[in-house]
Amino acid sequence: VQTALVAEHYLCMATHRIPTVPFESERTVLREWVPNDAPWLYDLNMNPQVVRYTGDAGFTSTQSALNLIKSYPNYQRDGYGRWMVIDKSTGNPIGWCGLKNNPWGIDLGFRFFEAAWGQGIATECAVATVEKAKALGLSSLIGRALSENIGSWKVLEKVGMQRYESVPIEEFAQDYNIAEKDLDSWKGQMLHMYKLELS
């Protein structure tokens, strides 16, 4: 059952959807978010270094992260979404990686705790996610990364994505709602846009 609070009313949706079967990379397991992930997601998004290039405001509490998990529509609506990444050696979440269906394309995204940076884990999970996208019959994926976010755009290139355009973030912001504080911190950067054809 998924729930969402709208105004003063709760909307509930019951489903018999079969959950996504967890899939693996060499060092990780990728699975759907569950309520017990709320503290991990809260901690992940509260690290200013982790969300430096994302524009996310973070969560106000663990409860707000739990509310997101409970109301997350993507698995039901699309059959895929962002998946929690579990370290096989510890059994603990180390971040997330997955897909998001946007009006402008299906986005490959990822976010990891700093302790997992620099070990090739993001690339490893992104490769596994691309393979999952192929198995789901998706035709193409997109990716976006700011020019100073070198680690992220290198991961996109390592999984075979091709950069097709780079635009000043100020120009991009004319058509998309980006918070002023983020625009100030990203001033002068380019937004690199990528695409990967799967079929």
Q: Where are the beta strands (DSSP E) in the chain?
A: 2-6, 9-13, 23-24, 28-31, 82-87, 93-102, 105-112, 140-146, 162-168, 190-197
Q: Interhelix angle for 62-71 vs 38-45, to 10°?
A: 120
Neighbours of 126 (CB within 10 A): 25
Closest of 23, 50, 40 to residue 93, by C-alpha: 40
Write the single-letter amino acid at 101. Answer: N
State residue 147's pLDDT score: 97
State residue 122's pLDDT score: 98
State residue 8's pLDDT score: 77
State residue 59's pLDDT score: 87
State residue 175's pLDDT score: 85
State residue 13's pLDDT score: 60
Which residues of the chain are modeled with pLDDT < 50? none
State residue 15's pLDDT score: 58
Which strands form 93-102's sheet, in the order they lie side by side?
23-24, 28-31, 82-87, 93-102, 105-112, 140-146, 190-197, 162-168
| CB proximity list for 174: less than 8 A, separation 6 or greater | none
Angle, alpha carbons 55-24-13 (nearest 5°): 60
Q: Are 188 and 166 in contact (CB under 8 A)?
A: no
State residue 12's pLDDT score: 63
State residue 159's pLDDT score: 98
Question: Mapping DSSP to helix (H, G, I), strand (E, B) and coil, where does residue 71 land?
Answer: helix
Specify the pTM.
Answer: 0.89
Residue 17 DSSP class:
P
- The two tokens of residue 152 are 């992220």
Question: Mapping DSSP to helix (H, G, I), strand (E, B) and coil, where does residue 82 land?
Answer: strand
State residue 10's pLDDT score: 66
Question: Mapping DSSP to helix (H, G, I), strand (E, B) and coil, where does residue 64 land?
Answer: helix
Longest Cα separation, the chain: 48
